[in-house]
Amino acid sequence: MDPVTGDAGMCAQVEALAHEMARQVGQGLWELPAHDADLARATAARLADAVGPAPAQEALAGIERLEHLREAVAAIAIAVARTHGRLAWFLARAADALTPVLRWRALTAEDALTFGTRVPGADELTDAENAVRRLHAALAEDLDAEPAPAPAHLRSWRAGRTRAPAGAAAPGARAVVRGFRQEDNRGVASESAPSQNT
């Protein structure tokens, strides 16, 4: 099930994504390779540079707040372009949640030639800024959390795969794989290696 609903605000959508990410990491279903971990930390730093604490952001003029939000969206897009697998999927959905930022403008217009953009309300700017802060926390803190041991069916699958001779299935491997594939609808990867991120 998709953890994000388009009817929710931006911060609520990012919160739902962060919750799902924490669940996968905590259950040992998502293990970041070193490259992805470094990219996540670098992206978190860029987000913190773009959108600071609430008092500082809210003291800025609307055009500056929007500029900072666009920088945050750009940082996410750059990160998506530099990775694959779960981290890319997670970041792509976060970027999708922040898409309304790209339809906002800070300048008034005397005519209707604005390409469909509009001036956001102060509450919308605050919601978007809070979404960026929540995404920063997810990338900087939640991904660094120590994962719990993998579920029993994954440990069994990995152990059987490690002991199996080249070209041969480990005893009971077909049953484990069948059981593993049945987990697909609950968000577990369907490929033969459950923790691959590519």
Length of the chain: 198
Could you tell me which residues are beta bridge partners of residue 87?
A: none
Question: What is the per-residue pLDDT for 4?
Answer: 62
Closest CA to 101 of 136, 76, 82: 76
Give the span between the Cα atoms of 87 and 83, in whole angstroms.
7
Question: What is the per-residue pLDDT for 8?
Answer: 79
Question: What is the per-residue pLDDT for 109?
Answer: 85
Dump pLDDT digits (tens) for 70-82: 999 999 999 999 9
Dump pLDDT digits (tens) for 84-93: 999 999 999 9
Convert 149-173 to b/e letters by CB count within 10 Å (16 or more is b): ebbeebebbeebeeeeeeeeebeeb
Convert 27-62 to b/e letters by CB count within 10 Å (16 or more is b): ebbbbbeeebeebbeebbebbbebbeeeeebeeeeb
Please tell me which residue, 142 or 154, carries the higher pLDDT value.
142
- Helical segments of the chain, H only: 10-26, 34-50, 54-58, 62-81, 85-97, 122-140, 152-163, 173-182
What's the pLDDT band for 184 if we cut at 50, 70, 90? Answer: very low
Question: What is the per-residue pLDDT for 112?
Answer: 80
Q: Answer whether 73's CB lies under 8 Å from 102's CB.
A: yes
Dump pLDDT digits (tens) for 51-67: 999 999 999 999 999 99
Q: Answer whether 51's CB lies under 8 Å from 167's CB.
A: no
Question: What is the per-residue pLDDT for 12?
Answer: 95
pLDDT above 70: residue 170: no
Give the least confident one: 24-28, 43-47, 111-115, 186-190.
186-190
Question: What is the per-residue pLDDT for 111?
Answer: 78
